[in-house]
Structure 1
């Protein structure tokens, strides 16, 4: 997969990625969604990818993802940030996946529910 970031998304993510020495991972969260095809895309800051994660090309950031999730996304994705809504979005040339892409700032293993 290939990821392109708009200038506003780059501005929003640059300091968080640089300062924390973290990278990005695109997750397809199906927890509580009913079935696997009703998932929610989520962006996560991680310190290290999972052993089975695959690195997608990105401009200017590469993005890790679970290869099993490729079926839910098109090969080229665009991540934008709307300053007026303070929200990320995930789009392709053919569709909008979400206009409210969550950014998890902690490793999911360390988040307590």
Structure 2
């Protein structure tokens, strides 16, 4: 999986959390969705990738994913940022996954959470 970041998206993601996030995990979260195949894309801030996670080709943001979640995403993704709405957009050449990509801080080491 390859993830391209606009300069604005990478900067906005860096600025959103304090302390800064080093490792992100892209997931298709179906918790509470009512259907196991209709997940919602999220970026989770994590302390470290889990055993078995794969690293996406993603610079300047380090992103990991579970192999079982790869089926929900195209091989080449883009993350952009809409400053007016303060939202991240996840898309590919074939589709828009979301105009409001959620970010959640799941780090146990974080002293503060999303601003």
TM-score by length of 2: 0.84
Could you list the runs of 5+ residues in structure 2 that have no partner in the other structure? Answer: 109-115
What SS does the corresponding residue of 1:34 show, helix, strand or coil?
A: coil
Partners of 1:26 and 1:39 in 2: how far apart?
12
RMSD in angstroms over aligned alpha carbons?
2.2
Q: How does 1:1-113 map to 2 (within 5 A)?
A: 1-15=1-15, 19-20=19-20, 22-107=22-107
User: Cα distance, 1:26 vs. partner?
Assistant: 0.3
User: Cα distance, 1:9 vs. partner?
Assistant: 0.5
Partner of 2:113: none
Partner of 1:111: none
Partners of 2:90 and 2:102 in 1: how far apart?
10
Q: Greater helix share, 1 or 2? A: 1
CA contact (8 A) 1:2 1:57 kept: yes
CA contact (8 A) 2:14 2:21 kept: no
Partners of 1:59 and 1:18 in 2: how far apart?
20
Could you list the runs of 5+ residues in structure 1 that have no partner in the other structure? Answer: 109-113
User: Cα distance, 1:18 vs. partner?
Assistant: 9.1
TM-score by length of 1: 0.85
